[in-house]
Structure 1
């Protein structure tokens, strides 16, 4: 039977840049080992990693909190690729064993057969570099994207010079481009101890290592100049050019969530983490999750976040300028000049973090919530963990020029612009559509546009 809907994807193809038995996303130790094992088993294997990043993403703190503490060398993509290969020597072994390695390539989405995509012939992964976006087919997918930094929204946290533990590690070890000199490190345990040890090994000065939660103020105007902390009734301070937030990390679950893998709250694994079966297998057939993407250490951020969120003026979402008081009151964005519900969060009913995001715009900025997700979740979760704020593709910001380069089936391109057969969409809103307008291939005919 012929498909009566010309805009449906049923029966249409998606141009691919290759099909692989195994695709691995993330070229850390776990990802490289998985790719080498797949190649040894005779699978056509693709290993992708988003590093070296487009320099524009450093400013958005994607995927880590970099805090503008990378030097100008990061603008030289070829040099950065050399440094990354040097930092991960097993990449060369993987290439020699037949793994196709693509550096500087991000996975921005994944698409499998489901409720809204029954017509898909096979699972697809969306990839992109600085020039173009494309799709590849896969039989099996391994996600080894690791974890990202938890940000503490103490006053001054948006200043250049505030970095996360993962951001510091990437800048220092992976890129060899860390530009700070004198550090204050926040957090205890292995994460913070590792930061302190790495800093001292690199000849950096660790001015402060604060292991217990305290009220803090990060000092400076244009960038970090120091840090102050409450010690009993008094405040103490020290000079530094970098504050490393090494309190906690959280598994990166954006790609598993977009694919449709089950995600569950598990404080013992760092917060929201994939629900896994044996051997790291996700709830979605053919998908395996490895390494820190499966979970990190038990949560250590609660007391720090409670202190940071005490004041209503605390800026929680910097991209959209949403404060703690705005969230508690469900206050709409300031540019709307409108009040929120009189009862604030109490008026919301069953808590839904996506609904809070739509009402206040917290988490809807260009960083895609990476800097504020945990703080927003902590503020909403005093009566129990709030649901996960869902992710949508693309899970990495992509310029329109990159998305425009995505190849499409001509049959799809001819119809994607049609919205439910509304011919008038191509006319100015103040002009009525001619009664006899002819709707051709997703748009009005040229003669009708002129009428």
Structure 2
């Protein structure tokens, strides 16, 4: 009995190293975890995606950078020096024998499960600007931190609107903040930290708006100012940057992909991942401060013309009506959120395309969830590999078992799926290395 050539069974996955512990994220929590593992005598790999490819910064991945980083970020070697200087624990980790890989993103994680019994062991997909590869591990520590929550306020899509994490990275991590005068939105520790950092760096502060209020971010091409209502009257302030320091939420993409339980906990920032055997989640990735965005979200989403998904041009009114994007020119029935009963973000994404853009939903995910959770808390959005946008040239460099490469493009082994519908299907087609064999193609 012959085996299915498209099956993963019996295939090998070339690995670029195997480690007892892999730590993803080289912030304070990640470095601490890596040092602890090294001191216990383990082989340790510590990876961090910074310095980012400037292309990712332009797509606001992983934080809301808002087009406010200067040309210095184009110099990768200089940015690596900045990151090591900003995170002195990296040198201590290297001295302790930790293998450190900067400028390296985790695009996928794979554990043995009911649907992947063919895997020989846990694997992590990594990539830099040139290639992608796999490493094996026994234990993984996820220290990916938190991301910015974007509230769809009028004018938020203008260049110059940043998140608190994006501002911190531009100012402290990269030393490449391009603004001169900021307005800070949000109250509490997050906004206070932004304001303190700005003052310490000599950056002017035009306004600090601590509570949700009617406001608009002004500018023709980029941010030029902000206007808000206070005491029944409108006030204005000129600025070139607005820092949205309203809230952050744990980065749960990798834990979700690995199969960690995800639960809703407003006291820890919203959806938070839980540890599981072989997977530990530490730092802000395991939970942040109690949610502070509800009032801001409610005020912003009450406006039907609020731009929720900038990538796909989806408005709040479009989401409530479950309309397909206007640019598709499609006219269809508007069922509305309430008519279809409980929804989740994956359903809404398929119906409206909100979340399908280049930023992979990072800018709109929280606003969409707030909309679909009017009656009850909706499930979290699902995450799939690749967790970061990767050029095809990078993925093409991934080493593969020759037998796997020869058959991966055949969906369930249906060799003729790539033939134009007007061409006859060969009697016994074979799909080898991305094309029908010459013998069959000529029949």
Distance 1:134 1:202, change over 3 A: same
The partner residue of 2:319 within 310, 324, 327 is 327
Normalising by structure 2, what TM-score? Answer: 0.97
Give the CA RMSD over aligned residues.
Answer: 1.3
Aligned to 1:43: 42
Aligned to 2:266: 267
Normalising by structure 1, what TM-score? Answer: 0.96
Q: How far does residue 274 in structure 1 lie from its aligned partner after superposition?
A: 1.0
Pairing 1:450–2:424 present: no
CA distance in 1, matches of 2:431, 2:395: 25
Q: How far does residue 340 in structure 1 lie from its aligned partner after superposition?
A: 4.8
Moved more, 335-344 or 312-321: 335-344
Aligned to 1:278: none
Aligned to 2:249: 250
Aligned to 1:70: 69
Aligned to 1:369: 361
Aligned to 1:241: 240
Pairing 1:214–2:205 present: no
**Structure 2: any 5+ residue segments left out of the alignment?**
none
Q: How far does residue 342 in structure 1 lie from its aligned partner after superposition?
A: 3.9
Q: Is the 8 A contact 1:65 1:371 kept in 2?
A: yes
Aligned to 1:145: 144
SS in 2 for 1:402: helix
Aligned to 2:228: 229
Within 5 Å, which residues of 2 pair with 1:13-92? 13-92=12-91
The partner residue of 1:346 within 338, 351, 360 is 338
**Structure 1: any 5+ residue segments left out of the alignment?**
276-281
SS in 2 for 1:222: coil
Aligned to 1:109: 108
Aligned to 1:165: 164
SS in 2 for 1:23: strand
The partner residue of 1:429 within 417, 421, 433 is 421
Q: How far does residue 114 in structure 1 lie from its aligned partner after superposition?
A: 1.1
The partner residue of 1:409 within 391, 401, 417 is 401
Within 5 Å, which residues of 2 pair with 1:169-184? 169-184=168-183
Aligned to 1:394: 386
Q: Deviations over 1:355-399 (max 9, x none)?
A: 111100101101000001111111111112111011111111101
The partner residue of 1:439 within 427, 430, 439 is 430
Moved more, 4-13 or 188-197: 4-13
SS in 1 for 2:235: strand
Q: How far does residue 449 in structure 1 lie from its aligned partner after superposition?
A: 1.9
Q: Deviations over 1:406-441 (max 9, x none)?
A: 00001101111222332323422321223x344254
CA distance in 2, matches of 1:242, 1:430: 56
Aligned to 1:303: 295
CA distance in 2, matches of 1:50, 1:317: 25
SS in 1 for 2:384: coil
SS in 1 for 2:421: coil
Q: How far does residue 121 in structure 1 lie from its aligned partner after superposition?
A: 1.2
Q: How far does residue 165 in structure 1 lie from its aligned partner after superposition?
A: 0.3
CA distance in 2, matches of 1:63, 1:225: 25
Q: How far does residue 234 in structure 1 lie from its aligned partner after superposition?
A: 2.6
Q: Is the 8 A contact 2:322 2:348 kept in 1?
A: yes
Q: Is the 8 A contact 2:147 2:250 kept in 1?
A: yes
SS in 1 for 2:337: helix
CA distance in 1, matches of 2:332, 2:338: 11
Aligned to 1:279: none
Q: Deviations over 1:204-261 (max 9, x none)?
A: 0011011111111110011100001122433211100000000100000000001110
CA distance in 1, matches of 2:71, 2:349: 35
Aligned to 2:308: 316
Q: How many residues align?
A: 442
CA distance in 1, matches of 2:291, 2:415: 53
